[in-house]
Amino acid sequence: EKLGLNQIRQMFRDFYVSKDHYAAKSASLIPQNDKSLLIINSGMAPLKPYFAGIETPPAKRMTTCQKCIRTGDIDNVGITARHGTFFEMLGNFSFGDYFKEESLRWGWEFITQCLKMPEKKIWATVYYDDDEAVEIWKKIGVPEERIVRLGKEDNFWEIGLGPCGPCSEIYFDRGPEYGCGKPDCKPGCDCDRYLEFWNHVFTQFSKEEDGSYTPLEHPNIDTGMGLERMACIMQGVDSIFDVDTIRHILDGVVAMSGVKYEDGAAKTDVSIRIITDHLRSMVFMIADGIIPSNEGRGYVLRRLIRRAARHGRILGIDGKFLVALSNKVIEVSADAYPELEEKKEYIQKIISVEEEKFAATIDQGTSIIHEYVDELKKDGKTVLAGEKVFKLYDTYGFPLELTEEILQEEGCSADVDGFNDNMQKQKEMARAGRKSADEEGWKNAATAVDVPETLFTGYDHLDDEGEVLA
């Protein structure tokens, strides 16, 4: 009998409660008193005031399962086996209480004793000069050949100045059939063989203005494990979209569209997974009080809803369909998140209104394309100029793929290179600070959500993205 995603969430909580952790509810996706972040993207994000010592935590040891959104991962969704824009992050936290040894030992105990993960398939990465972490892993019983030392980019966590430190990540070896076959393939490789599922961050330094690192008197622990990834491993499935609760939503998309899911890289499979993921994001975001708009979080939500609607159209679904499918999300998640059931009517109203607005955009865009096509035909041409394709995109919010699709039906095509040139020009203008409010909202949104990740590599890269924080 395979463990369900909802069971794994509960087991994690019970385990850390048995280690004297205080179990807190997931915080809202909307950050509180934190201007550096647009949407909560990790378990530690809402706990920052405790780590910074600004507020006193309810206990020195805590555990949570946090709802997260990472729009920075949007291009991976449906393509990789392991990314969603929405996911849940399980975590254990120590505010100046226990440190490295306990965190790794308990982590190991949880995955090998409670979840009974085969030890031989588990790998650990550490920061290259963190000998302490290497020694702990060896004592725990991980052989040296499965401990990989990686550099700052992968295994050191810091955001500008202040608390920071090395981390150790735990990977699962899915087997050579998922691998790239290269002789040096190991955790950190781009391929799908080694699946990262748990990050243990050891906040033990403070980065000073002069670039030096001073040891903290009371180091902290912050860990994050992707619940969907863990369920993927425990259920022995290929991707997070095959995990029980998510597959339930995906099956709904498949039934609604009548398109077969091939479990592969078919273009329609990607659309099916994108809709599945975005449904989860939109339902949770709306439940937390975000509404579609043209800026900030609202714009993120609007883009997710419209992107899902567009992929529905690619699958041949006519008319509104997201409201009906949002039921699937609520069905599998409401036990853990009762707010979904409580706010069901409201959530569905918001989705419905946005779907209608998008439909209106589609209608307007379609009639403009047909005018363009008439002109083309009059002139004996078949290729629509890049400038016009771009105008449809930029002024009428009409996606390129749809323009292409409709043109194709008329025996015409789009000048995609010309479209890209125009897009490029607009991006350059945006860089010069003359972007339309609409695009700007999304740009800021995407960047702000990415702040901790982008700044991961540290100080040298602050210039560009750093501005967004200021």
Residue number with CB closer to ligand ATP (172 or 419): 172
Residue number with CB closer to ligand ATP (281 or 403): 281
Q: How far is the CB of 123 from ligand ATP (least distance, A)?
A: 13
Q: How far is the CB of 80 from ligand ATP (least distance, A)?
A: 8
Using CB under 5 A as the binding rule, whether residue 235 contacts Mg ion is answered as no
Q: How far is the CB of 224 from ligand ATP (least distance, A)?
A: 4
Binder to ligand ATP among 78, 84, 107, 252 (CB under 6 A)?
Answer: 84
Q: Of 83-91, 415-423, 426-434, 441-449, which segment contacts ligand ATP by CB under 6 A?
A: 83-91
Using CB under 6 A as the binding rule, whether residue 224 contacts ligand ATP is answered as yes
Q: Tell me the site size for ligand ATP, rule CB under 6 A.
A: 16
Q: Which residue is nearest to Mg ion (CB)?
A: 199
Residue number with CB closer to Mg ion (82 or 357): 82
Question: Do residues 162 and 206 make contact, with C-beta atoms less than 8 angstroms apart?
Answer: yes
Give the strand pairing for 162-173 and 122-127: antiparallel
Using CB under 6 A as the binding rule, whether residue 225 contacts ligand ATP is answered as yes
Residue of 84, 87, 83 whose CA lies nearest to 68: 87
Give the strand pairing for 22-24 and 147-150: unpaired
Using CB under 5 A as the binding rule, whether residue 155 contacts Mg ion is answered as no
Using CB under 6 A as the binding rule, whether residue 187 contacts ligand ATP is answered as no
List phi, psi (to 5°) of 375.
-60, -45
Q: How far is the CB of 370 from ligand ATP (least distance, A)?
A: 39
Question: Do residues 37 and 1 make contact, with C-beta atoms less than 8 angstroms apart?
Answer: no
Using CB under 6 A as the binding rule, whether residue 110 contacts ligand ATP is answered as no
Q: How far is the CB of 41 from ligand ATP (least distance, A)?
A: 8
Q: Which residue is nearest to ligand ATP (CB)?
A: 226
Residue bearing tokens 């700007």: 440
Residue number with CB closer to Mg ion (199 or 276): 199
Residue number with CB closer to ligand ATP (60 or 70): 70
Residue number with CB closer to ligand ATP (58 or 151): 151
Binding to ligand ATP (CB under 6 A) within 190-209 occurs at 196-199
Residue number with CB closer to ligand ATP (87 or 98): 87
Using CB under 5 A as the binding rule, whether residue 223 contacts Mg ion is answered as no
Q: How far apart are CA 445 and CA 465, in angstroms?
A: 12
Q: How far apart are CA 29 and CA 297, in angstroms?
A: 10
Buried b (16+ CB within 10 A) or exposed e, 48-70: bebbeeeeebebbbbbbbbbbbb
Q: Of 113-121, 222-230, 288-296, 397-405, which segment contacts ligand ATP by CB under 6 A?
A: 222-230
Using CB under 5 A as the binding rule, whether residue 199 contacts Mg ion is answered as yes
Residue number with CB closer to Mg ion (149 or 248): 149
Query: Which tokens go with 259?
Result: 């398109």
Point out which residues bind ligand ATP (CB under 6 A): 70, 73, 82-84, 87, 89, 196-199, 224-226, 228-229
Point out which residues bind Mg ion (CB under 5 A): 196, 199
